[in-house]
Structure 1
Amino acid sequence: MKRFLSLALCASLAILSACNKSPESGSSNASGGKKLTIALMPKSKGNAYFISCKAGADEAAKELNVDLLFDGPTDPDPAKQNEIIENWTTLGVDVIAAACENKEGISTALKKARSKGIKVVTYDSDANPDARDFFVNQATPEGIAETLMDEAARLTDSEGEFAIITASLTAANMNEWRKHIEARLAEKYPKMKLVDTKPCDDLKDKAQAEATNLMSAYPNLKLIMAICSPAVPGAAEAVKQAGKTGAVKVIGLGLPSENRKYVHEGVTQSVVLWKTKDLGYLTIHAAADLANGQLKPGAKEYNAGRLGTLKIEGDSIVLGKPFIFNKDNIDQFDF
C-alpha cells in the first residue's frame, strides 16, 4: 500500500508540473503538444554556402526551441536527397525544408511526405509547387540574373565573350537563373556573347579545371560568370594561375569569406549574394510557423523574427534583393 501511495503521489506531482509549465519553455506543433522536429536538407552538406545557411538555421532553432535535423548528400546527388527524404518521412518529422538539386526528381518524394501529414518548405532551389507549401526564396530569379548580367556588362564595357560555370546542368534554381541571364543578354547587350556553359558538380577543383579549359578554348574570353559558390574561387584560381588577372574578369554567386583574397588581389571583381545565414534563419522560422498554423496560404506578408516583415509573392517568401560585394565593402562581412 505504501508503494502504491508513493507512486500515485509521484504521478500527481508530474501532472501538476506539466500543467504549470510555462508556454515559453518549448515550441509546439499544430496539434499543440510535442516539440517540433524540422529536417533541413542542403544540396551538399560540405558546401560552405549551406554550412553558412545552417548557422542561421541553428540560430532560429535555438530561438524557437525546435529540434533541427541536418543531413544531405556529400556531393550534389538527387537520388541521395530522395533517399534521405524517404527516411525522414518514415521517421515522421514535422517539417521538411529542402534545397532541391533536381526539381522533378525530388518532387515525388516530397509529395509523399505531404501525404503523410508532413509540412514541406523549399529554400534556395525550389521543387514543383504541388510538392511543397512555401518556397523560401533568397531573391527573385530575375533579380539575381539581372544583377549578374548587368555587372558582367559593366566590367566588359558591354561587349565580348563570356562563359558560365554552374553547379550542374540539372540544378533547378541555376537553370532558372541562366534562363533569365540569357533573356537579359538578348534584351540589353547585343555585343556580348555567351560562348559556353560548363558544370563543376559544386566542386572548386573541377571549377578551376573547367575555367582553365574555357580560357584555352576561347582565347578572347573576357569574363567568367560562376553561378555556384565553389565555382567562384575555383575560376579565380584558374585565372590567377594562367596569369590573366584583370584580362579575364571573374564574377559570381559566392561567399565573401571564400573570395576575399581574390577580390583584394584584383582577380575577382564582384561577388553577388545574399546573407546566407539569414536564408537559413528564415527557412526555420517559416517551417515552424507553417507547422504551428501561423503561416497560412494566401498571406501577403510574414514576420520572421529579427528579419522583421518580409513580402510573400504568391507562395514564395522573399528574403530580399541580391547584394554586390567588392573591394570597397567585402571586409565588412564575415560569412
Structure 2
Amino acid sequence: MLKKTLLLAACFGLVSGAALAQSTWTGGDELPTNPLACDGTPGAVVSKDYDGGVPTNAPDRAGKKITVVDIPKLIGVGYFAATTKGIQEAATELGNVDAKTDGPTKANIDEQITFIDNYITSGVDGILFAANDPVAIAPVLKKALAAGINVVGYDANATPDARQWFVNQAEFNGIAKSLIDSMAKEAGEDASFAIVTSTFTTPNQARWIAEMAAYAAKCHPNMKWLETVEAQEDNVLSFNQASTLINKYGDQLKGIFGMTSVATPAAAEAVTQANQCGKIAIVGLATPNAMKPYVEKDCVKSVVLWNPVDLGYAAMQVLRATADGTLKPGATSVKAGKLGELKVVNGSEILLGSPFVFDKSNIGQFDF
C-alpha cells in the first residue's frame, strides 16, 4: 500500500517531504486503468465474453406483465428522482411493466441490502439497483438470481456475477478525461485540487477516481492531488467537508471535484460563502438544475454528467429485454426504445453514451 501511495503521489508531482506527509491516496479502486489519449482519440472497446450472472429456473416472462422494483443508493435526491422518472417513462411506454422505486434515505449499504432482501421475500420479477458497495451488495443480489429474479444494475455496479447486466452511464475513462481536462482548463496545468466523494467503497466513484489519477498522470502530470474526503451523499456533510478543505489548504487549493450530485452543488455553495468564486474552480458531476444558480453567477464554469432520466429509461428497457429473452449473453447491442440501439461493452455492460459538459451556454436548455 505504501509503495502504491508513493508511486501515485510522485505521478502528481507530490515529491517534497511536506507534500507527501499531507497527501494520502484514497477514494480510488485498485482495478487496472485505461486512460484515454490526451488528444481525444477515442479508446478501443474491449471485447470479452459475457461475465454476468444467470437466474436460476426463471419463469417464462416473455411478453408478460412483470413487477419491477428499483432500489437505488438512496431516495430523496434529485439525481435518483431523475432516474426514477426515466424508469417510469419506460414502464409506461412498454405497457407491460409495473415499476416502483423504494430504498433508504441515506447512502447506507446495510439498509439497501435489507430493502432488496425484503423484496425478494415479497416476490418481484425484476430488480433494478445502483450499488452503494459492489462487494457487500453481491450476496443479496445472488440470492435474487437464485430465486429466478432478473437483476440489472445502473449508475453503480456490483460484482458482475451478482447481476445480469449493468447499464453504464458513460465509460469510466471518458468521465475521468472530461473532469480532469475541465479542471486543467479552469484552474491551470499545475493546479492543486481535492475531491469530495460519497464513500471510498462506492463503485462508480472509486472507478472514476482511479481513472482520473491515471489520466492526470498521463496528460496533466503537473497537477497536484491534495486529498479525497468522504461525505456520504449528504448535503450538510458535503458542504462542511468542502469548507474544511478550503480552510485547510488556503491559497494552495485551486480546485475541488464533486463526485456526486450532492457534493458538487454543496462544494459550490461552500466556495460561494467563502468568497472564493473565481479563485477555486468547482468541477464535478451534478444535475443541471442543482447547478444553474452557480453557473449563472460564474462561480462554476462546467458540470459533467449524462442524462439520468435516459439512464433510468435505458435500465428499464434492458430489464424488460432481459425478461423477454431478447437480450442474451453474447449480444453486441440491445434495442432501448427511443434511445435506439445501445452497445454492449466489457462482456455484460450496456453503454448509455459519452459524458456531456453543461456550461453557461447550454445549461438552461435542460430541466432535471
1:334 is matched with: 367
- Once the two structures are TM-superposed, the CA of residue 199 in structure 1 deviates from its matched residue by 1.1
Aligned equivalents of 1:221 and 1:275: distance in 2? 30
Match of 1:105 among 136, 156, 159: 136
Letter in 1 for 2:359: N
> For residues 271-290 of structure 1, what are the alpha-carbon distances to aligned partners after superposition, in whole Å with 9 as ceiling and x for unaligned?
00001100000111111110
Where structure 1 has 5 or more consecutive residues not aligned to the other structure, the ranges are 1-28
Match of 2:74 in 1: 44
TM-score (normalised: structure 1) = 0.90
User: Which residue is equivalent to 1:8?
Assistant: none
Instruction: Give distance in 1, aligned partners of 2:282 and 2:61.
Output: 51
Deviations 1:124-163 (CA, angstroms, capped at 9, x unpaired): 0000011011001101111111111111111122112100
Q: CA deviation at 1:41?
A: 1.0
* 1:34 Cα deviation from its structure 2 partner: 4.7
Matched, 1:315 2:345: no
**Structure 2: distance between partners of 1:32 and 1:254:** 37
The gaps in structure 2 that reach 5 residues or longer are 1-58
Equivalent residue letter for 2:92: K
SS across alignment from 2:103: coil
Alignment-derived partner of residue 130 in structure 1:
161
> CA contact under 8 A between 1:38 and 1:288: conserved in structure 2?
no
Structure 2 partner of 1:158: 189
Matched, 1:236 2:264: no
Task: Say whether the 8 Å CA contact 2:192–2:224 is kept in structure 1.
Answer: yes
Q: Deviations over 1:93-125 (max 9, x none)?
A: 111111000111100000011011111111000
**Residue deviations 1:180-199, cap 9 Å, x none?**
01111111212111100011
- Asked if 1:225 corresponds to 2:257, the answer is yes
> What CA distance in whole angstroms lies between the structure 2 residues aligned with 1:291 and 1:72?
23
Which structure has more RCO (C-alpha within 8 Å, separation ≥ 6)? 2
Bigger fraction of residues in helix? 1
1:32 CA displacement: 4.9
Describe how 1:276-315 pairs up with structure 2 within 5 A: 276-313=308-345, 314-315=347-348
Amino acid at match of 2:235: K
The one-letter code sitting in structure 1 at the alignment partner of 2:70 is: L
2:94 corresponds to which letter in structure 1?
L
Question: Given residue 45 of structure 1, which amino acid in structure 2 is its aligned partner?
Answer: I
Instruction: Give distance in 1, aligned partners of 2:62 and 2:362.
Output: 46
Matched with 1:192 is 223
Residues matched between the structures, number: 307
1:62 corresponds to which of 92, 108, 126: 92
Maintained 8 Å contact 1:100/1:172: yes
> What TM-score results when the alignment is normalised by the length of structure 2?
0.82
Q: State how far apart, in whole Å, the 2-side matches of 1:327 and 1:140 are.
A: 25
Q: CA deviation at 1:31?
A: 3.9
Secondary structure of 1:246's counterpart equals coil
Residues 212-269 of structure 1, C-alpha deviation per residue, up to 9 Å, x if partnerless?
1101111110000101001111001111111111000111000000000100111111
Report matched runs for 1:113-128 at 5 Å.
113-128=144-159
Aligned identity (percent) is 42
After superposition, residues 4-19 of structure 1 pair within 5 angstroms as none
Max Rg structure:
1
Q: Secondary structure at the match of 1:96?
A: strand
The residue type equivalent to 2:315 in the other structure is T
For residues 213 and 178 of structure 2, what CA distance do their matches in structure 1 show? 12
Counterparts of 2:204 and 2:186, CA distance in 1? 25
Secondary structure of 2:127's counterpart equals strand
Give the distance between the partners of 1:183 and 1:326, measured in 2 at CA: 25
Partner Cα distance (2:72, 2:132) in 1: 9
More displaced stretch, 319-328 vs 31-40: 31-40
One-letter identity of the residue aligned with 2:340:
G
User: 1:33: Cα distance to partner?
Assistant: 7.4
